[in-house]
């Protein structure tokens, strides 16, 4: 999968994604990460990418032209694929989006800064607006990294053989089951005996039951409308 990120802070995105399984996938070429800085496509005296909002008000707005030129430049190098604008006003990111997008060959993520981006860029060039939650952060970079990590880990080969996304929370519509590792006794607490039994079917049944119970307790909304609610 090839991921293009339009950002005023390319190093922030590259650095953040250079760790762990995602970092390894980029190093091995399984994921290709390209960052493009709209400042390089600002055809004005001081490479300005932002200007005051029409109508007045606080802050600056990212200008249309440098962003469009960045997209055009990407098209000369590779495919843009689906263009996603990270925005608190977007559809809230869900596991289902990530599972679906893991099948895409290309994706372009646009990171806003300041008060946001000229609405005409969004209207004319963005396929999807995505939010990482109902709060406002200072720029789209961290949101883009969240999307990229969550999508990339669903791609074949990104997780090592000893890791699996299958049993993660949300993958089957429920939260994940509790995990234990050494030591067998910590303070007053032991490990549930079934996990030490070596009985695979019993362990699976226990984990399924735990997953359901935890979901009922912590996120009953996930079960609404299902036979398990």
Ligand X SMILES: C[S@@+](CC[C@H](N)C(=O)[O-])C[C@H]1O[C@@H](n2cnc3c(N)ncnc32)[C@H](O)[C@@H]1O
CB of 35 to ligand X, least distance (A): 15
The one catalytic residue in 51, 168, 192, 219 is: 168
* Nearer to ligand X among residue 81 and residue 140 (C-beta): 140
What tokens does 11 get? 């190093």
Q: How many other CB atoms sit within 10 Å of the CB of residue 180?
A: 13
Q: What is the Cα Rg of the chain in Å?
A: 22
Task: Write out the residues near ligand X by the rule CB under 6 A.
Answer: 86-89, 111-113, 115-117, 131-133, 135-140, 143
Task: Compute the distance between CA of residue 211 and CA of residue 161 in angstroms, rounded to an integer.
Answer: 23
* Nearer to ligand X among residue 91 and residue 163 (C-beta): 91
The one catalytic residue in 115, 129, 149, 192 is: 115
Task: Judge if the upstream peptide bond of residue 175 is cis by omega within 30 degrees of 0.
Answer: no
Helix, strand, coil in percent for the chain, rounding step 5: 40, 15, 45
* Nearer to ligand X among residue 75 and residue 89 (C-beta): 89
CB of 142 to ligand X, least distance (A): 8
Give catalytic status of residue 123 as yes or no: no
Q: How far apart are the first and last CA of the chain?
A: 37
Helix (H, G, I), strand (E, B) or coil at 5: strand
CB of 62 to ligand X, least distance (A): 8
* Class of residue 95 by CB neighbours under 10 A (exposed 0-12, middle 13-18, buried 19+): middle
Give catalytic status of residue 88 as yes or no: yes
* Nearer to ligand X among residue 142 and residue 194 (C-beta): 142
What tokens does 51 get? 């200007």
CB of 34 to ligand X, least distance (A): 18
* Nearer to ligand X among residue 3 and residue 159 (C-beta): 3
Helix (H, G, I), strand (E, B) or coil at 139: coil
Give catalytic status of residue 153 as yes or no: yes
Q: What are the residues whose beta carbons fall under 8 Å from the beta carbon of 44, sequence distance 6 or more? A: none
The one catalytic residue in 88, 113, 118, 207 is: 88
Give catalytic status of residue 38 as yes or no: no
What tokens does 223 get? 């079960």
CB of 143 to ligand X, least distance (A): 4
Contact 99, 60 (CB under 8 A): no
Question: Catalytic positions, please?
Answer: 88, 115, 153, 168
């Amino acid at each position: 999968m090839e991921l293009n990120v339009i950002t005023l802070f390319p190093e922030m995105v590259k650095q953040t994604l250079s760790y762990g399984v995602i970092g390894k996938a980029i190093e091995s070429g399984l994921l290709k990460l390209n960052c493009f800085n709209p400042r390089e496509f600002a055809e004005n005296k001081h490479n300005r990418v932002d200007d005051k909002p029409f109508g007045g008000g606080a802050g600056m707005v990212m200008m249309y032209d440098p962003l469009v030129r960045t997209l055009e430049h990407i098209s000369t190098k590779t495919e843009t694929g689906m263009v996603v604008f990270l925005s608190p006003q977007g559809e809230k990111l869900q596991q289902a989006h990530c599972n679906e997008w893991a099948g895409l060959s290309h994706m372009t993520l646009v990171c806003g800064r300041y008060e946001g981006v000229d609405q005409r860029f969004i209207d004319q060039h963005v396929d999807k607006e995505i939010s990482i939650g109902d709060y406002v952060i200072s720029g789209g970079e961290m949101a883009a990294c969240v999307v990229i990590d969550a999508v990339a880990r669903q791609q074949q080969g990104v997780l090592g053989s000893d890791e699996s996304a299958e049993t993660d929370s949300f993958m089957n519509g429920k939260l994940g089951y509790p995990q234990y590792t050494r030591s067998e006794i910590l303070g007053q607490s032991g490990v549930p005996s079934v996990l030490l039994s070596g009985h695979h079917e019993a362990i699976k049944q226990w984990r399924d039951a735990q997953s359901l119970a935890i979901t009922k307790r912590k996120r009953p909304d996930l079960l609404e409308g299902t036979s398990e609610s």
